Structure 1
């Protein structure tokens, strides 16, 4: 499992409150994370105005999708950085500002990206995240294709339910059902993995 720190737990608690439309929690979350997330956006777009817009779009997404955050999959900062990263790449594509460096970002393996987003983590955090990633990948492979695709788009690409429905060309209710059932099955699989005897 991912390392539990007071900082992580505070962000987890704030995201849970944001999912209930708690404006005070949203402001606290913004105050605690926006500076770092702005820096992430700047690394991609290199323009302050664009980085400001990306940060705003990302936090709109967070407000709408906080309920989809699953603490068993990643730390809150990794989830937030993933949203900013994908918003940045979307903006680069739309603005035709791609460069060779941008292409290399998009082509990075999950391990390379994990190293990027956790560059300031301590070794225990990195080991825990790597171990968790193995279990998540295994459990994702056991899901039905629609559930797996829906979770990937919603969680890693930061799509809202309505954006997901549009992307997959299915009714909104169907998209929500795929996400809900996929998360339920993923949670059960990860819980079983955490209870399994070690070293087998």
Structure 2
């Protein structure tokens, strides 16, 4: 089986557009020129995991539902399992679902980014209700070795029902928790989930 080739962006292309660190709400300032660039390429995944001169583009979907009984927002969360995914994140809690854009995602007529996002979602979860999709921000966290080689595109899915089930053992203990419950588990969350929790659900709201 040949090695997966994934969509990457030269780090200097991002730098040329402006300083990007943490959660950036001005998505289009960076993402529009990135996706339009002729410098995007598909490269072997293993090599890219240790090469910070390229950033892997990762759609990262946060799913929320508002309980009509108490008016509280609840967010889908799970524990990363021990399968074939990113070993450096195992046993961390996450509120984001998503993954790499693969070269195969570019085979059809549609946007490879959207194709890859949908494929990753379909592999990992089943969403059995209507929802709206809002692109909320970009996420770059160079504070650790995982974050240094990834650029996250944060999507907020607002669901009509809490109808999400995990499709993979990788996504263990899938459930909807209130923002307060997630804050109480803050230290157990992976870094991207901490940054998304702070940005998407600020405490003063």
TM-score by length of 1: 0.29
Bigger relative contact order, structure 1 or 2 (CA pairs below 8 A, ≥6 apart):
2
Q: Which has the higher strand share?
A: 2
